[in-house]
Amino acid sequence: MLLFYATEKAPTMAHPELVGFHMIPLLEFFGAPKKCSFVDGTSCRQYVKDRAAGKIGKRAVKEATAGRELETLSSALNFAFKEKKLIIPVPVTLPPKALPRERWLTRSEAAALVAGALGITATAYDIETRKPIKWGRMFRPSYHVARFILIGLYSGSRHEAILKLHWLLNTRGGWFDLSHNILYRRGQGERETNKRRPPVPIPENLLSHVRRWRRITSVGPVEYHGRLIAKERKGFARARELAGLGEDVTPHVLKHTCITWMMQRGVPIWEVAGFSGTSENIIRKVYGHHHPDHLSAATKRFRGR
């Protein structure tokens, strides 16, 4: 069933390589001579337990990772049932969903992160007392990392979408239309996925940077020696270390930060959802408490008589 899913369905998906990555540990546990009837709540829970303990695969992973692998198994079995390869559907028991991340950057932390990308260390500081950041020693700058961070902070784009940005219209990723000041986060003809990438106006805080980057780069803003990079890992980790921030600050935190800042400034929820490519339900559920009007009617309910 997994092989059928990988050959018939995966090629039409946005990230078919993930199916291949997930199949390796899945087949190690659920593979021959086991049959689909082996998949039940007990075996799924055992898979998550063994995967987290490092008994399956090359290394131990988090329960959330094992859960995503089981989601691939579930999709494969559901696809097989729809294609009449299975007589009855086979349910897959998934682990509880992890709580949504609430980490976002303050203005001071964002400044320290950009400075870290530029090779400047930042000493410890206290946000509550609003003490100024003290800049320290300088190291070799990574300008492409700084550009990656600024685009993430001001556009709320996802990691992969930022890395694929070009200066010209293309079919592999988004691009900047500087004639009309529009950021297209999806390439020409690219299929839309659940992780929506709608075109948005280039934010004013970012526009001047983008015009300057256009003059000094050739392919796209996040390029290194004339080529777009595939993943922003080591450079971002180095900037985070120089900024004195913890490992909970990941590239995805940039999107969280952008949404949180907009909510704190009172931007309507439907505009935040449209700009970030996130559903209004998620915006209300995860970020709603940052909005100044959050439950404002409830707080006034007991005034007066």
Tens digits of residue pLDDT in 178-212: 999 999 998 887 776 667 788 999 999 999 999 99
pLDDT bin (cut points 50, 70, 90) of residue 137 is: low
The whole-angstrom separation of Cα 85 and Cα 83 is 6
Residue 272 CB neighbour total at 10 angstroms = 24
Output the pLDDT for position 290: 85
Sequence-separated (6 or more) residues with CB below 8 Å from residue 125? 108, 112, 131, 132, 133, 134, 244
Output the pLDDT for position 127: 46
The whole-angstrom separation of Cα 299 and Cα 177 is 44
Q: Is there a contact between 43 and 94 (Cβ–Cβ < 8 Å)?
A: no
* 138 strand-pairing partners: 120
The string of pLDDT tens digits covering residues 251-294 is 999 999 999 999 999 999 999 999 998 888 989 888 888 888 87
The position carrying tokens 């209300």 is: 284
